[in-house]
Amino acid sequence: MALFDYTLRELQEKLHSKEITVTDLVDESYQRIEEVDHAVKAFLTLNKEAAQNQAAELDADRGNDAAKLFGLPIGVKDNIVTKGLRTTAASQLLRNLEDPLYDATVVQKLNEAKSVTIGKLNMDEFAMGSSNENSSYTATRNPWNPDYVPGGSSGGSAAAVAAGEVPFSLGSDTGGSIRQPAAFCGVVGLKPTYGRVSRFGLIAFASSLDQIGPITRTVEDNAFLLENIAGHDKMDSTSANVEVPSYTDALTGDVKGLKIAVPKEYLGEGVTPEVKEAVQAALKKYEELGATWEEVSLPHSKYAVATYYLLSSSEASANLARFDGVRYGVRTDNADTMLDMFKNSRSEGFGNEVKRRIMLGTFALSSGYYDAYYKKAQQVRTLIKNDFEKVLEDYDVIIGPTTPTPAFKVGEKIDDPLTMYANDILTIPVNLAGVPGISVPCGLSSDGLPIGLQIIGKHFDESTVYRTAHAFEQATDFHKQRPSLGGAQS
């Protein structure tokens, strides 16, 4: 059994009993990266020397033993700022950001809890994409089959965990960016309630939707990481001052009497028969475990993708204005006037998808169109949020697939943005509503690709989401399946 097949708690027990050292864990990570990352391409930057030094220090001084994440190796998505460690958001525009001046709040929390940062993980540029093909550096591959995408935008974060390069990682989710790659790579990914985790130091894409969250192999690990990164932060005025419960304690409960809502829109057109069957089998499992389920409707779901692209692109057009070659970003060599300098820095630095969204967002916010597009989209967002709140008054959780299909092939959708956007149809509404959602593995397709089950809960009720996910995980073996990549795992 590979070391990272143990849960985080088990690894910590081994550390505490001195069966293994922090150096063993860090070495395991870099060795696995050496073996498989040429094929997976999950990492953009490695933190090897610093991580090895930190491991040696932690091993030498066990005074930190009690720290919550003591000695555990983690990967961090490349849009989360890490002091002194290159942070590019997978953009050429930030290729020279070698030495950021501060840590994101989540990274500060990781450091206080004494985890070890192994490196920065690939993503779609500025988190815009669903396949990792929009990274300006390299396209991460799906560890289950390198002909397929790992999903996006946190594709590197999900693939690194699935490939056993790190036992856990951080991603960010604006419209599905944690849950969709988790589903495609057969791992567990949670988007917390909006406001649950500080966004300070997350390079902003769409500020009213972005959330940082954990990607892990098990639900328990996921709950464990969330309780260590959640909480109010005075540096992020949108972070909520709501107490953080022990999410791991919540796992002990069962799902007897749990009321599940299954939206008919989530098992309708576009969802492949294999995905439907996997979700139906999961619902059967919940019945066996004592839960009940009923079909419900989220009638405004059909407007979610259009609403999301108007709002997220509008916010992106404002957020990305700072990348102009003066305030942030590589400055062009090719300009005689100030205006040309701004224009050329941005034209050279941004990739096509980012440009497409900036143009769409600028258009939606422009005078004469604002009411018809941006304002209308805000109104529809409220209707979508109301749909969720109404259903969640009567039910404990909402369950459906994470994605309509398993992973698609590299190159299959990259020239057709609308088809690419439609892949997020089941995750986007959750961001618009601001509620928490998790993806857990619930099957394999006939092509041997993972299928994800999505469990959505009430605002700030991650505990019930985790309890529901954990009960399913304990009753099934899907989380134990591993890609054969590299042959290093059973």
237 as an active site residue: the answer is no
Q: Are strands 211-216 and 168-173 parallel, antiparallel or unpaired?
A: antiparallel
Give, in order, the Cα–Cα distances in Å from 255 to each of 57, 288, 364, 456: 43, 10, 45, 15
Q: How are strands ordered across the β-sheet holding 188-191?
A: 43-46, 116-121, 73-77, 168-173, 211-216, 188-191, 437-444, 450-456, 397-401, 259-263, 292-296
29 as an active site residue: the answer is no
- 3-state secondary structure string, 64-104? HCCCCCCCCEEEEECCECECCECCCCCCHHHCCCCCCCCCC
CA distance 389 to 381: 12
Q: Going residue by residue from 89 to 128, which x/- string records binding to ligand ASN, judged by CB under 6 A?
A: --------------------------------------xx
Backbone phi, then psi, for 292, in 5-degree steps? -125, 155
177 as an active site residue: the answer is yes
Task: Give min distance, CB of 116 to ligand ASN, in A.
Answer: 27
User: What is the token pair recorded at 91?
Assistant: 């953009």
Give yes or no for residue 78 binding ligand ASN (CB under 6 A). Answer: no
Out of 79, 91, 157, 177, name the contact with ligand ASN by CB under 6 A. 177
If the CB atoms of residues 131 and 248 are measured against ligand ASN, the closer one turns out to be 131
For residues 32-42, one letter each, b for 16 or more C-beta atoms within 10 angstroms of the residue's C-beta and e for the rest, the string is bbebbbeebbb
Q: Going residue by residue from 424 to 453, which x/- string records binding to ligand ASN, judged by CB under 6 A?
A: x-----------------------------
Contact positions with ligand ASN (CB under 6 A) in 298-327: 312
Which residue among 91, 115, 153, 463 is the active-site one?
153
Out of 28, 173, 220, 265, name the contact with ligand ASN by CB under 6 A. 173
Out of 7, 47, 136, 174, name the contact with ligand ASN by CB under 6 A. 174
Out of 129, 201, 361, 483, name the contact with ligand ASN by CB under 6 A. 129
Task: Give min distance, CB of 178 to ligand ASN, in A.
Answer: 8
Which residue among 77, 114, 120, 413 is the active-site one?
77
Give, in order, the Cα–Cα distances in Å from 290 to each of 45, 258, 285, 296: 46, 7, 9, 19
Is the Cβ–Cβ distance between 216 and 187 less than 8 Å?
A: yes
Give yes or no for residue 402 binding ligand ASN (CB under 6 A). Answer: no
Give yes or no for residue 175 binding ligand ASN (CB under 6 A). Answer: yes
Is the Cβ–Cβ distance between 150 and 158 less than 8 Å?
A: yes
If the CB atoms of residues 127 and 170 are measured against ligand ASN, the closer one turns out to be 127
What Rg, from alpha-carbon coordinates, does the chain have? 21
Give yes or no for residue 248 binding ligand ASN (CB under 6 A). Answer: no
Contact positions with ligand ASN (CB under 6 A) in 408-427: 424
Question: For binding to ligand ASN (CB under 6 A), which residues are involved?
Answer: 127-130, 153, 173-177, 205, 312, 424
Q: What amino acid positions are annotated as catalytic residues?
A: 77, 153, 177
